[in-house]
């Protein structure tokens, strides 16, 4: 048994897991406040990463300027998307809502492929040192930064929902849209803000992942990986999303370890979370922290 | 979801249940349907290979799309893994033929039954969960089956794929576009009639009841879990037969043809055609198969000067499909079948609006 490999993989898993957690949080944010399941979450990462890449490489904008510009672009993008595409979907059956986001995902993935090509492009160097050794483990600087960013984002989410006026309005809307509306909360604004936040934070995660492994269409697979995480944690729980993300990250990497050491079946890394997903759905469909659906007649 | 009221002209009353549950709504529709089949029977004599190829594609995909419509449009469950069942049927038929020497004629329906078994298995979660959770469970099924295709070399030939023998009947191989067209046509007619008949039966009405309000359906004594799982099994059987026909047409089955993108296309077909409409399934499939061809033609016409258009053709096709799904959902959520009914009623009742 190779212990150092195992520790390395688990540390990697935790770090990737926090990223999954951040993306899952964005997903849950949209689901909680607008009841829309966003299958295009992965494309937010993709669009954010490509935008940042284009700004830095094609237009030679320095990172400290290009990065905020990307985020500003994503705010506009998220709000526009909500107004143009998602708003007409309010009150439509769930299959329509799901299919609209799937259509969006397909459209943007192809659009990005058309503009930027299929090949992975390396992200320009942002940090001078590529690796740091910590407790005998090799960790990439971008990973450390991603860990810090993720934790900051999570703390930001917590503070935003706990103390800000908008956060309170969003929680109220998530709880009951009609009541929130009758209390004078603009549900339209809440929806737009939810999409904007989700797009921005996803783009942030996208840029972080791109720094490590380059920009390519593989980024959008994050959007699919989010499902095991959110189902595990519970669809409408932000804490659950973080915990679910961590578990999925660790699960993936331990599956990789088991696979490489004993089983040698290959590809267990990508498929293990889906087996976990099916099992959870059978045992506890509302997840670890989610609220159980109770229907009244 | 789908239209509860059919747009019959006023004055056309039904006085008994038998009249209300005919397969074809009006005699005119019946004549048109029979005429279409007769015309299609003559089609191979005056159509070229390109058109026949498209027609065969529409037929095979159309069978699978109808299966998906049974589960999504009629039972109200969501399946994101239909392409995996389609692929399973293709592999199963090729496997039965290659491994056990089952003639292709029998291998296709047998593959349908095998796929039905797999569908019933993956439908078990549907007995317990619904809506969004079910969508995600079927998404997982898609990835698990895709992984299985890549891994199970004894069944699928692994990454190199499997050969599928041509369809033979009494010793003659029906392997040209002209002859295979008839095979597909027979399957399309039989399976579409079967589905239309199913919906007139007790089981078919139970499926629709589950869609419309599952709690009321349960209170009326409909076994929810059973009908949900049954609809998954049926839809998988349709997908399996469609996939098997597709596999024997191409002569080669490989796992790349059954990705999540194809599942999305199947969903696009039934949304564009009309959820809960049998004829709509075929209309939507025709739309989805012809759209990339139209894109190709458009790029050929207008995109001569820009190499970016020609290089990005594959992406443009995908974008067109995604965009078509979004636009239909926003502007015509009931699909082409509904649009067609409206046009028909408009002309029939002209100059009055109802």
- Cβ–Cβ contact B125 with A under 8 A: yes
Q: Pick the range with the lowest mean pLDDT from A89-93, A137-141, B152-156.
A: A137-141
Would you state the structure tokens that stand for residue B108, as one six-digit string?
Answer: 């296709």
B323 contacts: CB under 8 Å, gap ≥ 6: A103, A107
- Which residue did the predictor score with more confidence, A97 or B20? A97
B window 285-344, beta carbon within 8 A of A: 308, 312, 315-316, 318-319, 321-326, 329-330, 333
Disruptive mutation site among A35, A86, A99 for chain B (greatest number of B CBs within 10 Å): A99
Q: Residue B5 — pLDDT band, cuts 50, 70, 90?
A: very low
- Bin A266: left if φ > 0, else alpha if -120 < ψ < 50, else beta: left
Bridge-based pairing of strands A137-140 and A131-134 is antiparallel
Examine the pLDDT at A76 and tell me if it is beyond 90: yes
CA-to-CA dists, residue A23 to A64, A66, A147, A222, angstroms: 23, 21, 13, 8
Q: CB B264 to CB A102 under 8 A?
A: yes
Per-residue exposure over A262-297, b if at least 16 CB sit within 10 Å of its own CB, e if not:
eeeeeebbbbbbbbbbbebbeeebbbbbbeeeeeee
Q: In a 3-state reduction of DSSP, which class is residue B253?
A: strand
- Domain ranges in chain B? 25-260
Residues on chain A touching B147 (C-beta within 8 angstroms): 267, 270-271
Which residues on neighbouring strands pair with residue A132, listed in sequence order?
Answer: A139
Q: CB A99 to CB B268 under 8 A?
A: yes
Q: Residue A262 — pLDDT band, cuts 50, 70, 90?
A: confident
d(CA B112, CA B244): 8
- Partner-chain residue, chosen from B125, B136, B324, that has the shortest CB–CB distance to A227: B136
Q: CB B329 to CB A89 under 8 A?
A: yes
Give the minimum alpha-carbon distance from B278 to chain A in angstroms, rounded to a whole number: 18
Does residue B276 contact residue B204 with C-beta atoms inside 8 Å?
no
pLDDT in tens, B224-240: 888 888 998 999 999 99
Give the minimum alpha-carbon distance from A6 to chain B in angstroms, rounded to a whole number: 25
Q: CB B140 to CB A278 under 8 A?
A: yes
Give the minimum alpha-carbon distance from B153 to chain A in angstroms, rounded to a whole number: 12
Closest-CA residue of B relative to A89 is: B330
Closest-CA residue of B relative to A35 is: B132
Q: Pick the range with the lowest mean pLDDT from A185-199, B114-128, B226-240.
A: B114-128
d(CA A120, CA A113): 11
Bridge-based pairing of strands B168-169 and B172-173 is antiparallel
- Domain ranges in chain A? 3-283
Examine the pLDDT at B193 and tell me if it is beyond 70: yes
Q: CB A274 to CB B321 under 8 A?
A: no
Q: CB A85 to CB B330 under 8 A?
A: yes
- Partner-chain residue, chosen from A88, A98, A109, that has the shortest CB–CB distance to B330: A88
Q: Pick the range with the lowest mean pLDDT from A223-227, B4-8, B122-126, B315-319.
A: B4-8
Residue A138 has a pLDDT of: 67
Residue A199 has a pLDDT of: 92
Q: CB A95 to CB B78 under 8 A?
A: yes
d(CA A53, CA A216): 11
Disruptive mutation site among B68, B128, B140 for chain A (greatest number of A CBs within 10 Å): B140
pLDDT in tens, B25-51: 777 778 888 888 888 888 888 878 888
Q: CB A106 to CB B141 under 8 A?
A: no
Q: Which CATH entry fits the domain spanning A3-283: 1.10.1060, 1.20.1070, 3.40.50, 1.10.3470?
A: 1.10.3470
Residues on chain B touching A40 (C-beta within 8 angstroms): none
- Partner-chain residue, chosen from B78, B128, B323, that has the shortest CB–CB distance to A98: B78
Q: CB B143 to CB A274 under 8 A?
A: yes
d(CA B148, CA A275): 12
Q: CB A114 to CB B325 under 8 A?
A: no
A32, exposed or middle or buried, with CB in 10 Å at 0-12, 13-18, 19+? Answer: buried
Q: CB B315 to CB A113 under 8 A?
A: yes
Residue A211 has a pLDDT of: 80
- Partner-chain residue, chosen from A96, A285, A297, that has the shortest CB–CB distance to B329: A96
Give the minimum alpha-carbon distance from B259 to chain A in angstroms, rounded to a whole number: 13
Closest-CA residue of B relative to A278 is: B137
Instruction: Give the mean model confidence (pLDDT) for residues B45-61.
Output: 87
Q: CB B316 to CB A114 under 8 A?
A: yes
Give the minimum alpha-carbon distance from A197 to chain B in angstroms, rounded to a whole number: 23
Q: Residue B22 — pLDDT band, cuts 50, 70, 90?
A: confident
Q: What is the mean pLDDT of chain B?
A: 83
Q: Residue B149 — pLDDT band, cuts 50, 70, 90?
A: confident
Does residue B94 contact residue B253 with C-beta atoms inside 8 Å?
yes
Examine the pLDDT at B137 and tell me if it is beyond 50: yes
Q: CB A37 to CB B78 under 8 A?
A: no
Backbone angles phi, psi at B329, to 5 degrees: -65, -35
- Cβ–Cβ contact B224 with A under 8 A: no
For the question of an ipTM over 0.90, the answer is: no
Q: Is the dihedral of CA B243, B249, B250, B253 positive or negative?
A: positive
d(CA B132, CA A290): 14
- Cβ–Cβ contact B148 with A under 8 A: no
Give the minimum alpha-carbon distance from B258 to chain A in angstroms, rounded to a whole number: 16
d(CA A195, CA A23): 13
d(CA A178, CA A176): 6
Give the minimum alpha-carbon distance from A231 to chain B in angstroms, rounded to a whole number: 8
Q: What is the DSSP string of chain A?
A: --HHHHHHHHHHHHHHHHHHHHHHHHHHHHHHHH----TTHHHHHHHHHHHHHIIIIIS---HHHHHHHHHHHHHHHHHHHIIIIIGGGTTS-HHHHHHHHHHHHHHHHHHHHHHH-SS-BPPPP-SS-SEEEETTEEEEHHHHHHHHHHHHHHHHHHHHHHH-HHHHHHHHHHH-HHHHHHTT--HHHHHHHHHHHHHHHHHHHHHHHHHHH-BSGGGGHHHHHHHHHHHHH-TT-HHHHHHHHHHHHHHHHHHHHHIIIII--S-HHHHHHHHHHHHHHHH-TTTTTSPPP----
């Amino acid at each position: 048994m190779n212990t150092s490999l195992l520790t390395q993989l688990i540390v990697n898993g935790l770090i990737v897991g926090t990223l999954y957690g951040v993306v899952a949080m964005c997903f849950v944010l949209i689901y909680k406040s607008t009841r829309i399941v966003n299958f295009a979450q992965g494309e937010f990462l993709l669009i954010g990463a490509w935008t940042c890449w284009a700004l830095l490489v094609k237009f030679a904008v320095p990172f400290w300027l290009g990065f905020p510009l990307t985020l500003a672009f994503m705010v506009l993008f998220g709000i526009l998307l909500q107004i143009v595409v998602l708003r007409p979907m309010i009150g439509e059956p769930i299959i329509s809502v799901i299919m609209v986001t799937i259509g969006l995902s397909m459209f943007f993935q192809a659009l990005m492929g058309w503009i930027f090509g299929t090949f992975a492009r390396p992200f320009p160097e942002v940090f001078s040192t590529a690796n740091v050794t910590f407790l005998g483990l090799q960790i990439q600087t971008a990973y450390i930064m991603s860990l810090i960013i993720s934790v900051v984002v999570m703390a930001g989410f917590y503070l935003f929902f706990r103390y800000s006026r908008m956060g309170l309005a969003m929680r109220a809307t998530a709880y009951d849209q009609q009541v929130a509306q009758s209390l004078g909360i603009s549900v339209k604004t809440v929806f737009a803000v939810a999409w904007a936040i989700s797009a921005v934070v996803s783009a942030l995660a996208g840029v972080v992942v791109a720094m490590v492994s380059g920009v390519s269409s593989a980024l959008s697979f994050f959007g699919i990986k989010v499902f095991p995480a959110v189902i595990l944690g519970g669809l409408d729980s932000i804490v659950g999303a973080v915990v679910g993300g961590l578990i999925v990250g660790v699960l993936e990497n331990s599956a990789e370890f088991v696979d490489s050491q004993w089983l040698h079946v290959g590809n267990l890394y990508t498929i293990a979370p889906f087996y976990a997903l099916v099992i959870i759905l059978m045992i506890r469909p509302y997840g670890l922290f989610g609220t159980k659906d109770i229907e009244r007649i | 979801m789908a239209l509860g009221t059919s747009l019959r002209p006023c004055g056309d009353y039904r006085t008994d249940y038998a009249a209300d549950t005919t397969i074809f709504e009006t005699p005119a529709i019946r004549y048109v349907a029979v005429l279409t089949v007769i015309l299609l029977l003559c089609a191979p004599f005056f159509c070229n290979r390109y058109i026949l190829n498209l027609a065969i594609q529409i037929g095979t995909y159309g069978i699978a799309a109808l299966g998906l419509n049974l589960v999504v449009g009629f039972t109200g469950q969501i399946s994101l893994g239909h392409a995996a069942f389609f692929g399973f049927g293709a592999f199963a038929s090729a496997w039965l033929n290659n491994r056990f020497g089952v003639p292709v004629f029998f291998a296709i329906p047998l593959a349908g039954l095998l796929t039905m078994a797999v569908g019933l298995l993956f439908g078990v979660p549907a007995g317990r969960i619904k809506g969004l959770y079910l969508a995600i469970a079927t998404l997982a099924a898609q990835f698990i089956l895709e992984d299985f295709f890549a891994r199970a070399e004894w069944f699928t030939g692994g990454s190199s794929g499997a050969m599928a023998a041509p369809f033979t009947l009494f010793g003659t191989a029906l392997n040209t576009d002209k002859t295979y067209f008839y095979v597909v046509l027979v399957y399309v007619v039989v399976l579409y009639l079967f589905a239309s008949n199913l919906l007139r039966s007790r089981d078919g009405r139970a499926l629709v009841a589950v869609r419309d309000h599952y709690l009321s359906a349960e209170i009326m004594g409909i076994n929810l879990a059973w009908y949900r799982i049954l609809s998954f099994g049926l839809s998988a059987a349709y997908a399996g037969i469609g996939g098997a026909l597709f596999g024997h047409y191409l002569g080669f089955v490989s796992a790349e043809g059954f990705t999540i993108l194809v599942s999305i296309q199947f969903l696009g077909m039934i949304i564009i055609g009309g959820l809960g409409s049998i004829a709509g399934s075929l209309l939507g499939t025709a739309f989805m198969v012809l759209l990339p061809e139209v894109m190709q033609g458009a790029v050929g016409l207008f995109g001569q000067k820009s190499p970016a258009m020609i290089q990005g053709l594959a992406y443009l096709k995908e974008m067109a499909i995604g965009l078509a799904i979004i636009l239909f959902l926003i502007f015509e959520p009931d699909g082409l079948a509904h649009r067609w009914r409206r046009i028909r009623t408009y002309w029939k009742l002209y100059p009055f609006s109802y």
